Amino acid sequence: MYVSSSFFLLALLSQCRHVLSQSQNNVTLCQKSIIQQVTNFYEYKRKAYAYDYCANIGDGRGYSSGIIGFTTATHDALLVIQLYKSKSSQNTEFDKYLPTLIKIDQTGTSSTDGLDGYCKIWYNTCQKEDFRKAQLEIAENLYWYPSQNFSDKIGLVSALARGQMFDAFIQHGYTNTDKDSAIGMTNQTESILLSKNQSTPLRYGSEITWLTEFLKVRENTLTNPQNPATRDGFRASLWRVKSYQFSLSYLINITTIALNNTGGNITDRALLSFDNELVILDDKGQKAYIPCDLNIWTQNVGYMYIPPNNDLSVGAIMGIVVGGLCLVAICVVLFWCRKRISKKLKVYKVIR
């Protein structure tokens, strides 16, 4: 029953795609490519999509894998696998994991029990175009279009604000209204602005003011998340908000100068716009330049696979432990022998 409902959700999202795609009128393809590369950079420290990435990063969501970190605990990894299966005429590599993934999805647990070898199979399957296409389709339908549709709903028009909303949808989720989610942070932002008698973008308020406040709320959420399971992962990613705060100031400064020189209209949308490149900060606080790249959705650049601890068998773990103990024993014996030889040399010198 639950598998059927998942396929129904995929069909519904596909039907809604045409309607939701109208929200792209506010974002060019170049801007979209930059926005998605920025989130890739935050997630994987590189601009290209990491189709074959898979690891348990300890954020309370099980395995994170693929181009936007589809997780085993939050439904989207299961959707990718089910969509891939629907495109295949035969059994897939993931069939043996489906019962476990469905059970995990129903309970929302971060456990990876029963998923031994999952990351290795994810990595190997990424050589198949159908699997990569399934990742792109779920990412578009579950995150890109909903984030842009929501941006329309709350009155965001600039590429930077809409990009920030996409990034928040990816990292925080949006299917509930707890304070850690993108919806929850938006509600907090609007409450703060209204308490200061300031209008929101939907009520003809300043988009710069809204984005500045939203980034403060998101920074506070990453520092003090409501969900303790995500605390360490969120705090380690605080730099991605610092990066957007830098881009906000940077765009305002350079665009103001350009518009003053050309006599253009200084509007929030003009100030927060970028066409061919966006300057952000990396995790070391250094500038990084993200250019327009319309090949982002077709290129497949491999990511280095590092097997998680769960991929190691008990025998392999015991072998590592025994090998380590043997190395320690050898070092102790060598140290003891060195001391004995040193003493004998001293005695020999005295006798001479």
Q: Which residues are catalytic?
A: 43, 59
Contact predicate 223/238, CB 8 Å: yes
Q: State the Cα torsion 139-141-145-146 to the nearest 10°.
A: -100
| Buried b or exposed e, range 56-73, using 16+ CB within 10 angstroms | bbebbbbbbbbbbbbbbb
In terms of C-beta density within 10 A (0-12 exposed, 13-18 middle, 19 or more buried), how is residue 263 classed? exposed
Cβ atoms of residues 84 and 97 within 8 Å = no
Instruction: Considering only CA atoms, give the Rg of the chain.
Output: 26
Output the six-digit token pair for 34. 């930059």
CA-nearest of 168, 172, 138 to 154 is 168
CB 321 within 8 A of CB 313: no
Gap between the Cα atoms of 79 and 31, Å rounded: 27
DSSP code, position 171? H
Q: How far apart are CA 182 and CA 348, in angstroms?
A: 78
User: Two tokens at 65?
Assistant: 């894998």
